[in-house]
Amino acid sequence: MLIFVGIALKGSIPSAGLEKFPWTIRVVGPFYYWSMYLLKWLFPWPLSPLYGRVFFPTSKIDFVMILHILTILTITLYSIYVIRKRPYIFTVWISYLIMIFPFTGSLQTGFGGADRYTLIPTIPFSLFLGGVIATLLMNDRFKKWRFAGVGGTTLFLTLLLIRTTDQLPVWMNSENLWEEAVHYAPFEPIQLNNYGSAFNEKKQYFQARIFAREAILHAPRYADGWLNYGVIDSVCGYPEDAKKSSKLLYIMIQL
């Protein structure tokens, strides 16, 4: 096990480099993620534990992708058009685009990220929405919109409360979380590997070995997967298999 710990400290190799993705994903991908995270802020359903790249629909520029592109371009052009009268709209929108950009697939950081990565970039939206609601409540010019604003906000928060309550069992422990993730994305190596790690923590080594092996079968160059698989092999009493995993992991790190 110490061998694997030492190798892990030296570095790791991602399952696929940025250069291996088609140019269409690298160029068009940001528009998809900008749009997706905006929709998730407006209506964060179903509070998914999955990683963003799971949701990328296709490497082709289809009708859905065109809608994502047009949505982002329209909002961007509008924020520029009203920049003198309403500079806060431009500030909020550009801040969001810049902060979420590292997770849109055009940089080496990769594609997407868990929901928690979207919290900070969407804070400007929340501040803007709070200002809009405050204006509706305090300005007599918008008196007729007060009921609609308060009612809509109450309904929205109620729906989120219901969904949050429904989601709480998933977040109770690692096993529940990654079981849910594997259910929605059964072929994703990250989910499979983490599910195996959850079993390993509970000393359910048979299940842990199965899911760790599935992770490296779906992503043979997934270094974290080989690390986890080797550790589990050593615990389960398969020293030869653990040594093989150690050698493969070492070779990948040297490349």
**pLDDT single digits (tens) 188-228:** 888 888 898 888 888 888 888 889 888 888 888 887 888 88
Band (pLDDT 50/70/90 cuts) for residue 5 is very low
Q: How confident is the model at residue 22 (pLDDT cuts 50, 70, 90)?
A: low
- Report pLDDT for 202: 85
Please state, in angstroms and rounded to a whole number, the distance separating the CA atoms of residues 70 and 86.
22
Q: Tell me, what's the pLDDT at 1?
A: 44
Q: Cα dihedral sign for 102, 32, 130, 114? A: negative
Q: Which residues, other chains included, contact 155 with Cβ-Cβ below 8 Å and sequence gap of 6+?
A: none
Q: Is the pLDDT of residue 83 over 90?
A: yes
pLDDT value of residue 217: 86
The answer, yes or no, to whether the previous bond of 189 is cis (omega within 30 of 0) is no
| Sign, CA torsion 202/206/211/215 | positive
The whole-chain average pLDDT of the chain stands at: 76
CATH number belonging to domain 2-13+172-254: 1.25.40.10
pLDDT number for residue 18: 54
Q: Is 88 helix (H, G, I), strand (E, B) or coil?
A: helix
Report pLDDT for 114: 54
Cα–Cα distance measured from residue 115 to residue 50, given in angstroms and rounded to the nearest whole number? 8
Determine what percent of the chain is predicted with pLDDT higher than 90. Answer: 10
The whole-number pLDDT of residue 81 equals 95
The Cα 19–Cα 129 span in angstroms is 39
Residue 119 has φ and ψ, to the nearest 5°, of -65, -50
Domain boundaries, the chain: 2-13+172-254, 18-143
In this predicted structure, the answer to whether residue 21 has a pLDDT above a threshold of 70 is no
Residues 6+ apart with CB under 8 A from 234: 1, 4, 242
Nearest residue to 100 via CA among 79, 120, 126, 127: 120
Give the pLDDT of residue 89.
92
**Residue 166, amino acid:** D
Please give the single-letter amino acid code of residue 107.
L
Please give the residue that has the higher pLDDT: either 78 or 246: 78
Residue 86 parent element (H or E) = none
Maximum Cα–Cα distance across the chain: 77
Is it the case that residue 101 has pLDDT exceeding 80? yes
The type of residue at 199 is F
What is the residue type of 180? E
Give 30-52 pLDDT, tens digit per residue: 888 888 888 878 776 655 555 44
The Cα 59–Cα 23 span in angstroms is 9
What are 104's strand-pairing partners?
Answer: 111
Rounded CA gap, 72 and 91, in Å? 15
The string of pLDDT tens digits covering residues 113-151 is 555 666 788 888 888 888 888 877 787 777 777 788 788
